[in-house]
Structures are given as structure tokens and as C-alpha cells.
Amino acid sequence: MTHPKLSVEDAPGKLVPFPGTADAPRSEVLTGELVDEAEYQRTRARRLAESMVSRLPAVWQTPETARQASAQLAGQLVALPVRYPGSVGRGLAVSARAWWSWVRVADFYAAARTADRLADRWLEIAAIRKRRAWWSLTAIGTAASGSLVTDLAAGPLPLLLTGGAVSAGLALLGRRKDGAGGRKAVVGPRTLAWAMDGDHLVEAFRDAKLIGRDEGLAFVRLPKRDGAGWYVVVDLPPSRRASNAVAHREDLASALAVDESRLIIERVRGDDGHAGRVSLWIGDSDPYAAMPVASPLASAEAWDLWTAPPFGSTARGGVVAVPVVWTSLLVGAIPRMGKTYVMRLPMTAAALDPHVRLIIADGKGGKDHRPFELVAHRFIRNTRPESVLRLIAVLEEAAADVENRFERLSDMDDEVCPESKVTPEITRNPTFGMPLTVIGIDEIQNYLEDDTPLDLDNPKSKKRGQRILELLTFIAKTGPAAGYSLVLATQKPDSAVIPDKLRGQLGTRFALKVMTWQASETILGAGTYKAGMDASKLLKSHKGVGLLLGADGETDLDAGEATAVRTHLLAIKEIRVACHRGRALREAAGTLSGDAAGNRAVGDLPPEVAARIADVTAAGVAAVEVEDAVLAEDLPEVLGLLVEVIEDHEAGLVATFELAGRIGWEAKALGEALRRAGVPAPVPPRQRINGSPHPVSVADLDAIRVAVIGHIDG
Ligand SMILES: Nc1ncnc2c1ncn2[C@@H]1O[C@H](COP(=O)(O)OP(=O)(O)OP(=O)(O)O)[C@@H](O)[C@H]1O
């Protein structure tokens, strides 16, 4: 069975499987170029030269940096006569200090003093001092007489040579160290090449505290030009973790004097990697500030949605494709960062596949999604009351279809349906009536926050938003095997709007720029901030750029490795053209259905399916009701904030500063607010937890829960 994986290709330019009509057999197409012997030899020579150049120190690898390095070297040579006497003087002072400390037996003296044994050791120290003074006088006398004899016997040349060598040694000792007194102010290719050179890179790792002062790095791949930046692979010293280096990207960026958006640091995994191996790529400039790349979907004749559609590219130019089948996508960001553009990418791919059914609800209510009306099975234009009611009916129809599909799948022949899941053949065969179905909802919070009662005569009846949540949770939970996927976008990704029960089912997450690390975590998932993934660090100028994470095992990425992706740009004009093509393909395949075919009547929800939805979502709904109640009861601010950051599985004590950090408060303010909100402090209030060497102020998560419930119950 085809099992699409979210793929991030490292090699720029690698071919993405590209359309072909869904039914057409697809075979791999190889491209090549015919070259003659001379051209072949030239290419070999060029490769050899490139490989030799990559072994040079980084600053000598590109003509520009080599020119700058030579200019710097020439400048240093010109300044040498002026700087030389000063260096010799400093070297002399350093050696004199070292000699004096040796004669005075300074180390022994200091040790005896510290141990209060000076009186015992004094005679011994005095004897050593006398002995060393005599040795020094003897050495000076021998050197002076040796010089005199040499001068008389062989002339002044040997003395001049020796003096020159000694002065050079002193100058070396007294030279000003490069980089002393702070980091260089100049940024650009010169300093980057400088920073990538072995010793400087090791120094940066030390400064960022990723390795110890006396530890080093082993270079697995020497610094080398790679696209518009530098690439290097290093092994950390034993017991240092690569994941820690990834989590402290910002520290390393600071030590290297580059903006963190220019630094891509990743673990090298698999057979070629290990837990202490990291790859570093540093861009010459902000890789996300470049002109956006146009989406290949704009010119695609058709798309087979079982093939992950192109989504964007990594900083290094690798192609990123995001699967739609078996998983659901959550896109979150502050306004105007590109959520709508991003969610329209997989939906356009869906529009280009005639065997895909599209259901779209536009919570924004503008024209952004209108082109999809040409192909959409169901299309809800806005959040007006009648539209919200229609969305509920459409989702009920979809939920009933999910149930019905499972029944039919279980009755199917093993050959056709080996796993009680849809297969490409099943979804493409109109006689089965089980096309892949993508439900895309933009600004979903506008639907979920609708607190109009379903039954207008009964204000206590279930709210419309709750019903939508219930249905979406059901579809997200049970739908993927039946060919259903969700693509949801929101500017309010917090758990009050999208409860964990639903969010947990959305296995692929994409966080564009958000304001706080907490908001980033609510999109990407708990623990992602600590692992170094923080979408609040993206710049506002990074439109369409976000962190992509596969969190449901259906993708190649795991929770430890979000990838920064610059999404492709696909304008509404191009989407409209694609939708026209999609409509023509559907008409040809006889699959144009629902609203697009003028059939707006929505199917009913059979009572047995309604009961099943209630079962499947019972836990989720209970949680939602608690959360809604929490909001309704107007909790003290501190409890309202904590409810959002304490995970269901957490219990017991937690350091107050850690809990305060989660909501962006000071520990002291949190302690006081908890006291005011009636949360009793643990006894004793300061305890050693998580191996802390000293007792720290702690808060009791269970007591906080009790207080929240107390407030709800009044
Ligand atoms: N991949 C991209 N590359 C460059 N710019 C982009 C990209 N995607 C979107 N943009 C730009 O970002 C702007 C905002 O996009 P979009 O309307 O999708 O944002 P949004 O987050 O949905 O906004 P809102 O919350 O207001 O609905 C657009 O004007 C578009 O030009």
C-alpha cells in the first residue's frame, strides 16, 4: 500500500514525483546529458580541484575570502616593524614575571600559605629560593661569557642570529591574540569564513557552553561552501549530546555573531550519525529573506494526492513535501504571516486530483478560498448563522460517511482491501464512492467559539461551537483510515480554542511566526520549546516561513526535529487556474459532486452514527465542557493561564520558577498570585526536586487542579 511520508530532501534540485493523471501508470523519469571525452575529463578535473579546495582552511576556499585574507596578511606584514618592538617588550615582561615567580617558588609558597603550613615549610622554601637564585646567576654568567667567547672567536653573526631568534620568541609570546577584547564588528562572508575555521568554531562551541573549556571538536566534514553558505559536520566530545547543541542554537549563533535565522544546526542521525554528531549550515545572509519560490502546483496539470504535494524548501534549498493522506495539518500564526497561503497549498493539490473530494469552510469570510468553489463538494463561505448551521450539517454528513465507509471496507474482499483502510485503488474507483476527502477550515476559532445554543429555545443546550468541535474530533480520530484528512488554520491555537483532544489528532503541525514561545508550543506540542523549536523567534519579515513538525509517526520527522521551511508562494490567480483545471478533470472523470455540481442538499445523520460520535468524543467533550466552564466562571487570571500550560499527565510538585516561566511570569509573582487564588503552598514550601543541589520554591500541580475545580463548582 502506498504510505506517503513527509519528506525533507537534503539535496537541492532532487526530483519530486510530479503529476500525471491519477490513473496513468507512473514510472521514474531519468534525465541526463551527453558529454564528449574532453568535457568529461574537464568535469573530473574540476571535481578534483573542488575537493582539494575544500581541504583548505575556510578563509582560503573562496576567491573573495582568500583576497580578504591575503589583504589582511599583507596589512599585518606592513605593520610588523611598528608592532614588533611592542610585542618583544610585552614578551620580555611576561618572561620576567614567569622567571621571578619561579625563583620565588610562588606556587609552593601560595599552597603552603593556603594550608596554613607556611611556618613548617618556610626553611624549605627559603632553601629552594636560594638555590634557584644561584642557578639564575650561573645561567646569566654562562650566557654572558659564552657570548663574549663566541663574539671573539666567530664574530657578531651568531650572536645576532641568536638575538633575533630570542626576540622573535619574545614577540610571539607578547603578541596580541586575535579576537581579544570582544568579537569583530564586521559581519559578512569574511567573518563567516573566519568563524568556520577550525579553532574559531571550537571557540564558539566553548563560548556557547556546548563543550567544556578544555574540550574540542572532531571534524567529520571540513568547512565547505554549500549553496549560499557554509556547511560543516562535527562530532562533539564523548557524553556531549547533539540534541543539546540543537536546543541551544541561539547561544551558538551569538557565539558565531550571526542571527539565529542564518544558522541551521541539525543532528546527524541514522547509520552515518550518532547522538553526538551535528551538522551546521550558516547562510551568508538570511536565507528566508530571499524572494519566495513559486509553487510547482501553479503549473501542474494534475496531482495525485497520494503523493505528498510540494510545500516549500529548507534554508539549504532542500525540497519539502507534506503528505495529506493519513494525517491532518494544523497551521497556526499571528495574523498576516501567511496561514491562508500555506493551507491553500495542500488544498490546491487536492483540487488538482479529480479523485479527491474537497470540503471547505472559510471562517475569514473573504475571497481567499472562493476559487475552490469550482471544485468543492461542500463550500461554506463565512461564519453567518446559516453558514455555521450548514457547516454542522456538512460535518454530520461527513461523519456519517466515515462510519459508512468503515462498514463497507470491512465487507470488502481481502484482495481489494487488505487492511480495513482505503487504498489508492479504492479511493480512485468511483464505484466504491470513497474518494480521499480533505476538509479545510480557515480561522477555525471563528466557528469553535460560536456559543449560540443549538436549540435556540433552550439556552442551556449544546453550543454550536461545541458541536463542530465534537464532529471534527470524531473525523480527525477515526477518519484518516477512511480517507479523511483535516487542514485547519487558526490565529488562536491555544487549548481554550482547540482543546488537546482535537489538537492531538492533528499529526502535522506548522507554526509560522507567533508572539510567545508558549503559543509556539501550543501549535507544535509540549516539549518542543525545550528541544529548541520556537516559532516566536521567527521574524515578522519571514512571511510564509515556519517550523514544520510531524508528530504522529506518519511522517519522517519526530518531535525532536522541526524543520524551518520557506513555503512556496501560490497566488489566488494561480489557484483559480488550478481549480479550473481540477473542475475539467472532474468533469472528464465524472467525479464533480455536491455544491460544485449544483447539488447542495446535505445528507442526514443516521441516529446510530450520532450515538457513535457521542461515544467517540465523550472524553473530548467532557474536557471541552470543563474548559468552557472554566472560562465562564471567570477564573483568577493565574489559574486561567496555568490551565493552559499544565499538561494532563503532569502531577505532583514542580519548581515555581519553571511553572512561572511557562506563563512568562516571575516566580515571586506566581507564588503570591497562587496564594491569593487560594492554592495552599506545599509543606515545606522549598524542596529539592529533580536533583537540584539546593531546595527551591515549589508549587503543587494537584493543589492547583483542586483550586480550579473548586472555582468551577463555585
Ligand atoms: N510563502 C510566502 N512567501 C512570501 N510571502 C508570503 C507567503 N505566503 C504568504 N505571504 C504573504 O503574507 C501575506 C499574508 O498572507 P495570508 O493572508 O495568508 O496571512 P494570514 O496569516 O492568513 O492573515 P490573516 O490572519 O490576516 O488572515 C500575504 O499578503 C502574502 O503576500
The Å distance, Cα 545 to ligand 1 centre, comes to: 10
Q: Where are the beta strands (DSSP E) in 24-169?
A: none
Least confident of 2-11, 233-242, 602-611: 2-11
Q: Does ligand 1 lie within 6 Å of residue 311's CB atom?
A: no
312 close to ligand 1 (CB < 6 Angstrom) = no
What CA–CA distance (Å, rounded) separates 491 from 498?
Answer: 11
pLDDT greater than 90 at residue 490: yes
User: Rounded mean pLDDT of 37-45?
Assistant: 87
Mean pLDDT of 352-376: 96
Q: Which of 291, 337, 364 to mutate to test the pocket of ligand 1 (most atoms within 8 A of CB)?
A: 337
- Going by the DSSP 8-state scheme, the letter that residue 57 receives in this structure is -
* Burial class (CB within 10 angstroms; exposed 0-12, middle 13-18, buried 19+) of 404: middle
Q: What is the DSSP string of 367-430?
A: STTGGGGGT-SEEE---SHHHHHHHHHHHHHHHHHHHHHHHHHHHS-TTT-SSSS--HHHHH-T
Average pLDDT over residues 494-508: 82
Q: Please report the ipTM that was assigned to this predicted complex.
A: 0.95
| Same domain, residue pair 514 and 599 | yes
Atom 9, ligand 1: residue with shortest CA distance: 338
Residue 8 has pLDDT above 70, yes or no: no
Task: Tell me, yes or no, whether 53 lies in a domain.
Answer: no
Whole-number pLDDT of residue 624: 45
678 annotated as belonging to a binding site for a ligand? no
The predicted pLDDT at position 52 comes to 84
639 and 607, same domain (yes or no): no
Specify if 480 maps to a domain.
Answer: yes
Burial 434-473, CB ≥16 within 10 A → b, else e: bbbbbbbbbbbbbbbbbeeeeeeeeeeeebbbbbbbbbbb
pLDDT at 623 over 60: no
Ligand 1 center to 358 CA (angstroms): 22
pLDDT reported for residue 2 = 42
Q: Is 158 annotated as a binding residue?
A: no
Q: Are 46 and 39 in contact (CB under 8 A)?
A: no
pLDDT digits (tens, 9 = 90+) for 546-560: 999 875 555 554 545
pTM recorded for the entire structure: 0.67
Q: Is pLDDT at 437 greater than 70 in this prediction?
A: yes
Statement: residue 25 has pLDDT above 50: no
CATH number, residue 406: 3.40.50.300
Nearest CA to ligand 1 atom 2: 544
- Whether 446 is in the pocket of ligand 1, judged by its Cβ within 6 Å, is no
575 lines ligand 1 (CB under 6 A): no
Average pLDDT over residues 524-548: 86
The CATH code of the domain that includes 684 is 1.10.10
- The pLDDT value recorded for residue 552 is 54
Average pLDDT over residues 281-289: 87
Atom of ligand 1 nearest to the CA of 366: 27
- Which pLDDT score, from 0 to 100, does residue 84 have? 87
Clarify whether residues 556 and 685 are in a common domain: no
Closest residue by Cα to atom 10, ligand 1, is 338
Q: Are residues 105 and 228 in the same domain?
A: no
Q: What distance in angstroms lies between residue 675's CA and the mean position of ligand 1's atoms?
A: 44
> Which is higher by pLDDT, 320 or 357?
357
Q: Is the pLDDT of residue 157 over 70?
A: yes
pLDDT digits (tens, 9 = 90+) for 232-258: 999 999 989 998 898 898 899 998 888
Please tell me the predicted confidence (pLDDT) of residue 556: 54
Q: Which atom of ligand 1 is nearest to the CA of 569?
A: 1
Residue 501, marked binder: no
Residue 625 in this model has a pLDDT that exceeds 80: no
Is any ligand 1 atom within 6 A of the Cβ of residue 445? Answer: no
Is 392 one of the annotated binding-site residues?
A: no
Of 136-145, 168-177, 294-303, 623-632, the one with minimum mean pLDDT is 623-632
Higher model confidence: residue 685 or residue 7?
685
Q: Is the CB of 323 under 6 A from ligand 1?
A: no
Q: Based on the domain organization, do 605 and 641 belong to the same domain?
A: no
Residue 451 Cα to ligand 1 middle (Å)? 29
Give residue 441 CA to ligand 1 midpoint distance, Å.
16
- 101 and 201, same domain (yes or no): no
337 marked as binding residue:
yes
User: In one letter, which amino acid is 455?
Assistant: D
* Domain-embedded: residue 27: no
Q: Are residues 581 and 642 in the same domain?
A: no
**543 CA distance to ligand 1 centroid (A)?**
6
- Within 13 Å and on the Cβ side, how many CA atoms surround 377? 23
In a domain, 434, yes or no: yes
Specify whether 561 is located in the same domain as 651. no
CA of 340 to the centre of ligand 1 (A): 6
**Does 214 share its domain with 91?**
no
Question: Highest-confidence range of 217-221, 372-376, 662-666, by mean pLDDT?
Answer: 372-376
Residue 19 has pLDDT above 80, yes or no: no
Distance 333 CA to ligand 1 centre (A): 10
Domain-located, residue 209 = yes
Q: Is 343 in the pocket of ligand 1 (CB under 6 A)?
A: no
Point out the domain boundary residue: 567, 583, 613.
Answer: 613
Query: How high is the pLDDT of residue 20?
Result: 42
Are residues 586 and 647 located together in one domain of the fold?
Answer: no
pLDDT at residue 714, as a whole number: 57
- Model pLDDT, residue 497: 80
| SS3 state at 29 | coil
Rounded to whole angstroms, the Cα distance separating 302 from 307 reads: 12
Evaluate: CB of 32 within 6 angstroms of ligand 1. Answer: no
Distance (angstroms) between ligand 1 centre and the Cα of 343 equals 10
Q: Say yes or no: CB of residue 295 within 6 Å of ligand 1.
A: no
Distance (Å) from CA 348 to ligand 1 centroid: 16
Consult the annotation and say whether 499 binds a ligand. Answer: no
Residue 37 covered by a domain: no
> Hey, which of 313, 322, 340, 523 would you mutate to test ligand 1's pocket, going by the most ligand atoms within 8 Å of its Cβ?
340
Question: Comparing 572 with 13, which gets the higher pLDDT?
Answer: 572
At residue 17 the predicted structure's pLDDT band, cuts being 50, 70 and 90, is very low
Name the residue at shortest CA distance from atom 25 of ligand 1. Answer: 335
* CA nearest ligand 1 atom 12, residue: 338
The yes-or-no verdict on residue 589 having pLDDT over 50 is: yes
Query: Considering the domain boundaries, does residue 386 fall inside one?
Result: yes
Residue 443 Cα to ligand 1 midpoint, Å, equals: 13
**How many A from CA of 241 to the centre of ligand 1?**
37
Which candidate, 241, 239, 264, 248, places its Cα nearest to that of 208? 248
Tell me if 128 is assigned to a ligand binding site: no
> What is the tens place of the pLDDT at every residue in 628-648?
444 545 678 888 888 878 876
Task: In whole angstroms, give the CA distance from residue 324 to residue 319.
Answer: 16
φ, ψ of residue 319 in degrees (nearest 5): -80, 135
Nearest protein CA to atom 7 of ligand 1, as residue: 544
Residue 87: partners with Cβ closer than 8 Å, 6 or more residues away = 170, 171, 172, 174, 175, 176
In this prediction, residue 21 has a pLDDT band, given cuts at 50, 70 and 90, of very low
| Segment 31-42 mean pLDDT | 80
Looking at the domain assignment, is residue 224 inside a domain?
yes
The whole domain housing 543 covers 311-613
Across the chain, mean pLDDT equals: 84
Q: Could you tell me the distance, in angstroms and rounded to a whole number, from the CA of residue 491 to the centre of ligand 1?
A: 12
Specify the number of domains making up the chain.
Answer: 4
Q: Side-chain half-sphere of 259: how many Cα atoms within 13 Å?
A: 13
Residues 548 and 579 placed together within one structural domain of the fold: yes
For atom 28 of ligand 1, the residue with the nearest CA is 338
The pLDDT-based confidence of 177 (bands split at 50, 70, 90) is: low
What pLDDT score does 225 carry? 85
Residue 538: Cβ-neighbour burial (10 angstroms; 0-12, 13-18, 19+): buried
Instruction: Please indicate whether residue 292, judged by its CB atom, sits closer than 6 Å to ligand 1.
Output: yes
Same domain, 602 and 511: yes
pLDDT over 70 (residue 562): yes
Mean pLDDT of 107-127: 84
Contacts of 433 (CB under 8 A, 6+ apart): none
Residue 10 — very low, low, confident or very high, per pLDDT cuts 50/70/90? very low
296 labeled binding residue: no
Q: Confidence band (pLDDT; 50, 70, 90) for 155?
A: confident
Average pLDDT over residues 128-138: 93
With a cut of 90, say whether residue 222 has pLDDT above it. Answer: no
Residue scoring higher pLDDT (15 or 100): 100
